[in-house]
Amino acid sequence: MTRKKSLWNIPNVLSGYRILAFPVIFYALFTNNARIFIILLSVNLITDILDGFIARRFNMQTEFGARLDSIADIGTYICAFTGMFYFHYPFIQEHVFEFSLMMTLYIIPQVISLIKFRRSPSLHLYSNKITGYIQGIFIFTFFNFGNYPPYFYFMIVFSTLAYLEELICVLYLKELRSNVKTVVHVLKSPNNAS
């Protein structure tokens, strides 16, 4: 007999914390408190790494947790990019093409998934997980130490490729699920064809 996994576990509590932190992060942003903004954003990025590691290491992965984590990820990145606009607008202006390309390729699979499956993807592909780390490191280092151009471009290229992989999966899958692994796993499985 398999035991039902609890929704109240450490990874879900960490994801919940990240969601609850959004109003405080935005408050720090709009009161021009860069120090508190950077500290809270950094804590969100660190807890993002921890919740995924704990969920995988201690077999606490759940469909609910995957969705909660995706919501927390999206919110954290919205906070980060809003902070870039607010505190570092010239940097955004200088790299408008790169950010636009990356954001467009992120949004397209989200929209297709909402139309096709009536919810966001939450696929948790390996490339998405790696992208989360790469983007998290970029955001953390950018706000704490400034921009390092080679890493910025590496982040843009890797993110773009990961979002293209997600797009292929969303287009190909007939039923949406989390923890899909890679586009190769999706294309190889005869049950996935739409």
Position 123 confidence tier, pLDDT thresholds 50, 70, 90: confident
Question: What's the rounded Cα separation, in Å, for the pair 31 and 52?
Answer: 31
Given a cut of 60, whether residue 164 has pLDDT beyond it is yes
Position 192 confidence tier, pLDDT thresholds 50, 70, 90: low
Given a cut of 70, whether residue 3 has pLDDT beyond it is no
Q: What are the backbone angles phi and psi of residue 59, rounded to the nearest 5°? A: 50, 50
Question: What's the rounded Cα separation, in Å, for the pair 127 and 154?
Answer: 14
Question: What's the rounded Cα separation, in Å, for the pair 107 and 172?
Answer: 17
- 146-162 residue pLDDT tens: 999 999 999 999 999 99
Given a cut of 70, whether residue 5 has pLDDT beyond it is no
Q: For residue 171, which amino acid is it?
A: L
Position 2 confidence tier, pLDDT thresholds 50, 70, 90: very low
The most distant pair of C-alpha atoms in the chain lies apart, rounded to whole Å, by 58
Letter string b/e over residues 154-171, b meaning 16 or more CB atoms within 10 A of that residue's CB: ebbebbbebbebbbebbe
Across 87-104, average pLDDT? 96
Which helix (H) or strand (E) covers residue 68, if one does?
helix 63-87
- 20-29 residue pLDDT tens: 999 999 999 9
Given a cut of 60, whether residue 9 has pLDDT beyond it is yes
Given a cut of 70, whether residue 190 has pLDDT beyond it is no
Q: Give the alpha-carbon dihedral of 73, 76, 77, 78, to 10 degrees.
A: 120
What pTM value is reported for the model?
A: 0.84
> Left (φ > 0), alpha (ψ -120 to 50) or beta: where does 32 sit?
left
173 - beta bridge partners? Answer: 193
Q: For residue 62, which amino acid is it?
A: T
- And the tokens for 31? 């009161």
